[in-house]
Amino acid sequence: MCTAISDNGGRHLFGRSLDLECSYGESVITLPRAFRFYFAHTEIKYPHYAMIGAGVIHGGVPLYYDGMNEYGLCAAALNFPARAVYQERREGKLNLASFELIPYVLMSCESLSEAREALSELNVTADAVSASLPPTPLHYMISDGTGAVVVEAMADGVHIHENPYGVLTNSPELPYQVLNLSGYMGLDSRAPENRISKEVDPENYSRGLGAYGLPGDYSSTSRFVRAVFLKNHTRPTASGCDVGRMFHIMDSLAVPDGAITLPDGRGVRTVYTSVADTADKIYYFTTYGCRRIRGVRLDKLEGEFLSSVSIEEHEDILFKELPI
């Protein structure tokens, strides 16, 4: 369970939440221009573009959940159960394993336009990271300041959908999520107008009635609707910081531990939330155990070795002393 939002209101920000039943030791990983990433079936030119994002390092290989490169192109991988279908290697195609797609796009493409062209012959293969890590069913959102696309590898092939809403959650596929929005076109942040009766004018007894019916559960379809609504009906914070606004939106989509319980009794929670500021090249994040916003700047462009910053879970509370 995850939610990703691409927002071009003033400056391009890319936010995502990772909702899982446990943490896998995630960190913020910077990949410099000379790092050698060995793809199973393809190659890229070196030096490539530097990137930063959240993920885990397995056997020296960075497994990115999301990221941003030095040109402000962003990408995220979200769970796509019961829909994702991967293939064997195909001649004449761009063959990428599911865990290779994010680094390939961000290391080799400057813009969304370049990413569209690069992925036009994409084939997502069933290669695993290792014997202990089989491929995860995923779909992807890629965006920059010009727009967003969603990449979905399914039984009938790879689909690249334009995504004017700039929102992605989990299964089902994007076209269904977009069609489902039709049932919520009447939602508004303003007070509703009476259209139900000519004889009686119902009392507008509470603020927020314009959005009555906005789904509040944690299903992928409900989170999609809620994310689209909030993206289009929220304003910058008092300081004018759009990063703060994005975190407020993402907070409304976060899952408290236990709000979703799996068959084995474990609770799902929002492990981390990130916001990539593509103008300043800063990757901001919070975690379930520490809600203070922290930031890592993409400024280590040269070199050949990965660097990482651990995602701390200890709540960092700033205490204030009362005046004497």
CA distance 223 to 215: 8
The answer to whether 148 and 141 are in contact (CB under 8 A) is yes
- Residues 81-103 as b/e (b if ≥16 CB within 10 A, e otherwise) read eebbbbeeeeeebbbbbbbbbbb
CA distance 281 to 142: 16
CA gyration radius, the chain: 21
Q: Which is the catalytic residue, given 2, 74, 109, 241?
A: 2
Q: Provide DSSP, 236-262.
A: --TT--HHHHHHHHHHTT---TTSEE-
Is residue 215 reached through a cis peptide bond, with omega within 30 degrees of 0 on the bond before it? no
- How remote is the C-alpha of 70 from its chain's centroid? 18
Token pair 């391009």 in the structure block, residue:
12
111: exposed, middle or buried (Cβ count in 10 Å: 0-12, 13-18, 19+):
middle
- Measured over the CA atoms of residue 18, residue 19, residue 20 and residue 23, the dihedral's sign is positive
Is 2 catalytic? The answer is yes
CA distance 16 to 78: 9
The answer to whether 207 and 118 are in contact (CB under 8 A) is no
Active site (catalytic) residues: 2
